[in-house]
Amino acid sequence: MTKMENNINHLVDNLSAKEDRTNQEICDHQLEKLHTLLCYRTTCRRNFRFYADRLRRLIVKAVLDQLL
């Protein structure tokens, strides 16, 4: 590979790593909020089902991202 190709690959790798960290922070924040909402005793059944479904989707997405 040429020096230019190496530089481009390095930049792409750095951007991907930063994007992954940002996505992970967003996901962590969402998981924390959903967990908190699910633990409230005043959460109605309809909202509980919505939050649980959202939590399940985030978990499945994270697992699939790890597989790929």
Q: How confident is the model over 15-54, as pLDDT tens digits?
A: 555 555 556 666 777 888 888 888 888 989 998 999 899 8
Q: How many domains are contained in the chain?
A: 1
Could you list the residue range(s) of the whole structural domain that residue 45 is in? 3-67
Kindly tell me the burial class for residue 15, based on how many C-beta atoms sit within 10 Å of its own C-beta (0-12, 13-18, 19 or more): exposed
CB atoms within 10 A of CB 8: 12
Residue 45: per-residue pLDDT: 93
